[in-house]
């Protein structure tokens, strides 16, 4: 009797997993709509749905506190596969930036796999008198104490890049935090802030349209995307070793059944092979992940390594933190 009951319960559990998903899935983006993380999530959602019974994949923007508010929401969500998180490098840099984190990065999530890597660009308002990186540095030197640097809050990629940039130049700037770089871009376009580091997924269109001035890329290699290929790297411009590349990964709340995590992983792997998705990402300077970080275990190892890598760099740049 007991055995039959256990067998029935197990069959019930297997049935529940097999039925997943039978209602819309929400991906929390911990930044404002229209920004780089949001753009990746919305593009991904379309192809991901194909591998998830064609269920609707909804994007919920929970911006604020450099991505930690949205990540905390997912850490506390029901572990049933219906609430996921798409987050970037902030997952690894926040622990060094916040005295008290609202979640445990390595223990409060199931790691599903990585999505892409995205370089950043150093851009400025179109009315800045500088037209190239050397002129920008001269302008920054001459305007110490008056420079407004936009970012998406403590822990965001734009914050990390801006922090390292200030440290490298030894120029303290007034940082202006937003809930994402979409609203920050609006203010940059309006001339309310001076400069910003942001992912190419958000800046390429504005650079192409000549609406912002682009000064450099943050990776050590120049980019091949036509609109960005002429931009020098910060490394070759004098900031030797400057190298910031953003990555995105997918997470579920800790305790999400393995069968469901595996199912999302399978759907992600298929989505990341979608030629249309790859083409769109490449056009925006992003590179879709194809290596072993597509697995949850390797994704987690990579985040651990990133925490170890960025922690000391952030602490060293501490005097420039907000």
For binding to ligand ASP (CB under 6 A), which residues are involved? Answer: 31-32, 35-37, 88, 90, 151-152, 156-158, 180-182, 199
Contact 201, 286 (CB under 8 A): yes
In the complex, least distance from residue 35 CB atom to ligand ASP, rounded to whole angstroms: 3
Residue nearest to ligand ASP (CB): 35
Nearer to ligand ASP, 143 or 186 (CB): 186
In the complex, least distance from residue 1 CB atom to ligand ASP, rounded to whole angstroms: 56
Nearer to ligand ASP, 158 or 256 (CB): 158
Nearer to ligand ASP, 52 or 234 (CB): 234
In the complex, least distance from residue 166 CB atom to ligand ASP, rounded to whole angstroms: 15
Query: Ramachandran region of residue 142, left (φ > 0), alpha (ψ -120 to 50) or beta?
Result: alpha
Nearer to ligand ASP, 197 or 278 (CB): 197
User: Whole-angstrom distance between the N-terminal and C-terminal Cα of the chain?
Assistant: 64
In the complex, least distance from residue 264 CB atom to ligand ASP, rounded to whole angstroms: 21
In the complex, least distance from residue 289 CB atom to ligand ASP, rounded to whole angstroms: 17
Nearer to ligand ASP, 79 or 153 (CB): 153
Nearer to ligand ASP, 260 or 317 (CB): 317
Nearer to ligand ASP, 151 or 263 (CB): 151
Nearer to ligand ASP, 207 or 261 (CB): 207
In the complex, least distance from residue 153 CB atom to ligand ASP, rounded to whole angstroms: 8
In the complex, least distance from residue 122 CB atom to ligand ASP, rounded to whole angstroms: 13
Annotate the chain with three-state secondary structure.
CHHHHHHHHHHHHHHHHHHCCCCCEEEEECCCCCCHHHHHHHHHHHHHHHCCCCCCEEEEECCCHHHHHHHHHHHCCCCCCCEEEEECCHHHHHHHHCCCCCCCCCCCEEEEEEEEEEEEEEEEECCCCCCCHHHHHHHHHHCCCCCEEEECCCCCHHHHHHHHHHHHHCCCCEEEECCCHHHHHHHHHCCCCCEEEEEHHHHHHHHHCCCEEEEEECCCCCCCCHHHCCCCECCCCCCCCCCCEEEEEEEEECCCCHHHHHHHHHHHHHHCCCHHHHHHHHHCCCEECCCHHHCHHHHHHHHHHHHHHHHHHHHHCHHHCC
In the complex, least distance from residue 63 CB atom to ligand ASP, rounded to whole angstroms: 7
């Amino acid at each position: 009797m007991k055995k039959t009951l256990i067998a029935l319960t197990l069959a019930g559990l297997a049935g529940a997993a097999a039925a997943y998903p039978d209602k819309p899935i929400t991906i929390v983006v911990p930044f404002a709509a229209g920004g780089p993380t949001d753009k990746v999530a919305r593009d991904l959602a379309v192809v991901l749905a194909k591998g998830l019974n064609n269920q609707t994949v909804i994007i919920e923007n929970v911006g604020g506190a450099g991505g930690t508010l949205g990540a905390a929401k997912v850490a506390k969500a029901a572990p049933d596969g219906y609430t996921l998180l798409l987050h970037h490098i902030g997952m690894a840099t926040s622990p060094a930036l916040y005295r008290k984190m609202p979640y445990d990065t390595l223990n409060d999530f199931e790691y599903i796999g990585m999505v892409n890597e995205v370089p950043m660009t150093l851009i400025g308002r179109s009315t800045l008198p500088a037209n190239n990186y050397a002129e920008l540095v001269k302008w920054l030197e001459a305007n110490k104490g008056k420079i407004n640097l936009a970012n998406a809050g403590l822990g965001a990629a734009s914050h990390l890049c801006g922090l390292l940039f200030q440290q490298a130049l030894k120029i303290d700037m007034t940082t202006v935090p937003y809930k994402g770089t979409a609203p920050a871009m609006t203010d940059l376009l309006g001339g309310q802030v001076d400069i910003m580091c942001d992912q190419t997924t958000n800046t390429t269109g504005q650079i192409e349209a000549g609406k912002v001035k682009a000064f450099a890329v943050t990776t050590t290699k120049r980019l091949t995307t036509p609109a960005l290929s002429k931009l020098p790297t910060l490394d070759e411009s004098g900031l030797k070793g400057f190298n910031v590349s953003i990555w995105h990964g997918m997470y579920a709340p800790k305790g999400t059944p393995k069968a469901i995590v595996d199912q999302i992983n399978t759907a992600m792997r298929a989505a990341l092979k979608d030629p249309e998705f790859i083409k769109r990402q490449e056009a925006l300077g992003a590179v879709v992940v194809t290596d072993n970080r597509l697995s949850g275990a390797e994704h987690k190892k990579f985040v651990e390594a990133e925490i170890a890598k960025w922690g000391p760099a952030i602490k060293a740049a501490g005097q420039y933190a907000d």
